Structure 1
Amino acid sequence: MTIYFYKVWQPYGCFSNFSPHGIQIQGTYWATVEHYYQAQKFVGSIDAVIIPAIHNAPTPEEAAALGRCSSRQLRCDWDIVKTQVMREAVLKKFLTHTEIRDILLNTGNEIIVEDSPNDYFWGCGKNKTGQNQLGKVLMSVREEIRKLVSVTALTEKYL
């Protein structure tokens, strides 16, 4: 059974970047993965001055709107690094919050799909032909956490 998610209040809403699960990365606390991701678009760019506004946005929706403003210049390597930036933030989120880590691990080996009708890169898009990169990141993070849990269990058993 494929697991679809999109809105925070729907089943598996904790998989959304808009879920209220803060992360600490490089000494800075971000209210959501969305806040962090949108801010990273501008690191080192001429529009880096927008980063504090994204960081302090009261909601992930507002952070997303600030980050998606087409008049701002993104960092020059954004297309190259955006998936890794997302993966780092999603991994941190699920390592930080045990209650949602368990939800992710309990998905077994099911395919996870961001059911965004508008996003054909991170989601599956309206006609389900999108790349589903967020779903792929979640499945990769799930596998990495499984390995970490196994190593931790073995270490505890034999030390």
Structure 2
Amino acid sequence: MTIYFYGADEAPHGCFSNFSPHPLHLDGHLWPTSEHYFQAQKFPGTRHADLIRRARTPLRAAELGRDPAKPLRRDWERVKDDVMRRAVEAKFREHADIRAVLLATGDEEIVEDTGTDHYWGRGRTGTGRNMLGRILMRTRARLRAEFPAGDAAGI
């Protein structure tokens, strides 16, 4: 069975979305969502990155992060997967409730069900790379090793 997710408000797997309202701490800041963190890392150490961190919604953070007038960091294509991994892992480490949701998926495949993103999701044809889903599955495996069955909440 495959678990498909997209919208942050879709239970029970909406928490897999980068737009889900689960703040995280990374790099000395509190980020309202993993989307805020991811988009800001395109412009580290700039005023634009801080503007993204303070964006009122994850959609606004995404819009600011995709502003074609702002040059991306030169190594973005090389580091973007690791940036996403760090954000996803921090989010699921900090929130026991959603960590339990992720761990409860067992060994099921997790797929971001978007027709518009062939890199992070399945894409229009269903043959996209699904990198966000892959990162979620790798994060699940790491967390499973740290939080054995019955200890998903870290208690």
Report the TM-score range of the alignment, normalised by the length of the smaller protein: over 0.9
Q: Percent identity?
A: 50
Per-residue displacement from partner, 1:65-109 (whole Å, max 9, x unpaired)?
000111210000000000001001100100000000000000000
Q: For residue 10 of structure 2, what is the aligned residue in structure 1?
A: 10
Give 1:26 shift.
2.0
Q: For residue 65 of structure 2, what is the aligned residue in structure 1?
A: 67
Q: For residue 157 of structure 1, what is the aligned residue in structure 2?
A: none
Q: For residue 20 of structure 2, what is the aligned residue in structure 1?
A: 19
Pairing of 1:6-155 with structure 2 (within 5 A): 6-11=6-11, 12-43=13-44, 48-150=46-148
TM-score (norm 1): 0.90
- Cα distance in 1 for residues equivalent to 2:98 and 2:5: 14
Aligned AA for 1:38? Q
Aligned AA for 1:64? A
Aligned AA for 2:87? A
SS in 1 for 2:111: strand
- Cα distance in 1 for residues equivalent to 2:96 and 2:147: 12
TM-score (norm 2): 0.92
Q: CA RMSD in A?
A: 1.1
- Cα distance in 1 for residues equivalent to 2:31 and 2:144: 25
SS in 2 for 1:113: strand
Per-residue displacement from partner, 1:85-135 (whole Å, max 9, x unpaired)?
100110010000000000000000000000011111000012111100000
Q: Which runs of 4+ in 1 moved over 2 A?
A: none
- Cα distance in 2 for residues equivalent to 1:70 and 1:3: 33
Give 1:9 shift.
1.3
Aligned AA for 2:79? V
Give 1:52 shift.
1.4
- Which segments of 5 or more consecutive residues in structure 2 lack a partner in the other structure? none
Q: How many equivalent pairs are there?
A: 148
SS in 1 for 2:147: helix
Give 1:10 shift.
1.4
In terms of fraction of residues, the more helix-rich structure is: 1
- Cα distance in 1 for residues equivalent to 2:65 and 2:40: 7
